[in-house]
Amino acid sequence: MTEIGVGLVGFGLGGRVFHAPFIEATAGLALRAVVSGNPEKVHAQLPGMMVVPSVEALLALPGIDLVVISSPDDFHAAHAMEALSAGKHVLIDKPFATNLADAQRICAAAKRADRMVTVFHNRRWDADFLTLKRLISQGKLGRIVHFESHFDRWKPEALSVWKEARTGGSWLDLGPHLVDQAICLFGKPDAITADVTTLRDGAPAPDWFHAILHYPEMRAVLHSSKLSADHRLRFAVHGTGGSWIKHGLDTQEAAIVAGASPGDPALGEDPLPGIFIPAEDPDRSEQIPNERGDYGLFWRALALALAGKGSTPLPTSDAICVMEVLDAGLESALKGMTIQI
């Protein structure tokens, strides 16, 4: 496979944990430069890596084919447009943009430039989500009537960082994960009823949301709070064949932060099995072993797609659908009403 040169914009949590390690571990991809105002932090993890101070400087370098954008959300659209204008393929960390109009503008620019653009919705490759996909495909849960997805935290004090003040707050931070997973399973909803608000003292942006996605025969509930002392619940899925309850978060992020690397044998293992409660005999519950989570699947598929040997790991149409739901959710919360999508 011809090597694809990669430039990474940003070296915060996303760049350090979700992007750089996997780029370096993926055959066919070569990380050649990082945009950062803190070269020391980059070199502590990537000795000898070229560090440049701006996207403009990155785009002036030879051998950059793909630009991975992990800058603060408000810069996603501008940085993507710059990269596409320079003839580069683009991967954008979630959220795609801070609004639907900017996301559509990026897609139009990619089409004009004949370049690929995709979004890093990595939670499709979580252990628990892969397990749920398996259960649904096997028909074990029957027809799904209620899907509940939580991303709760206990972070009672808002920090003085941009992520705490980002546009849309946690709805545009954690919301994209939950919305994308729902779309991956059930497609585009008909409508949304959402409450997005701020509950922590002094928090500069929304830190709590509760959204109901309306489907013809089911409802999907997406919930997040940063004031949940008990934040263990991840999924509660109820169908005509039974229920599946899952506690605990996918372990890949925490493991990499702690020093694990892509390819480590234990990376992606989730030791907390979900519980299946059969409808015909609720007293006979059973533990369901988890699939192994693997964010590397995204990166390997991306490398193949860029080499012309496969499709993009996440269709742009899905990414646009996520933005439609996120925009509609903010409108629903503002107006206090259900919004058709």
Q: Read off the pLDDT of residues 73-112 as tens digits, 9 standing for 90 and up.
A: 999 999 999 999 999 999 999 999 999 999 999 999 999 9
Rounded Cα gap, residues 167 and 6, in angstroms: 28
Q: Are 25 and 261 in contact (CB under 8 A)?
A: yes
Dihedral sign, CA of 35, 76, 22, 250?
Answer: positive
Superfamily of structural domain 4-120 = NAD(P)-binding Rossmann-like Domain (3.40.50.720)
Q: What counts of helices (H) and strands (E) characterise the chain?
A: 11, 15
* pLDDT, position 1: 56
Ranges in the chain, pLDDT < 70? 1
* pTM given for the model: 0.96
- Within 151-289, strands assigned E span 191-197, 208-215, 218-225, 233-239, 242-247, 274-278, 286-288
What pLDDT sits at residue 166?
Answer: 86
User: CB neighbours (10 Å) of residue 202?
Assistant: 8
Q: What is the pLDDT of residue 278?
A: 98
What is the structure's pLDDT at 205?
A: 94
pLDDT of residue 124: 98
Which fold would CATH assign to domain 123-293+325-340?
A: Dihydrodipicolinate Reductase; domain 2 (3.30.360)
Residue boundaries of the structural domains of the chain:
4-120, 123-293+325-340
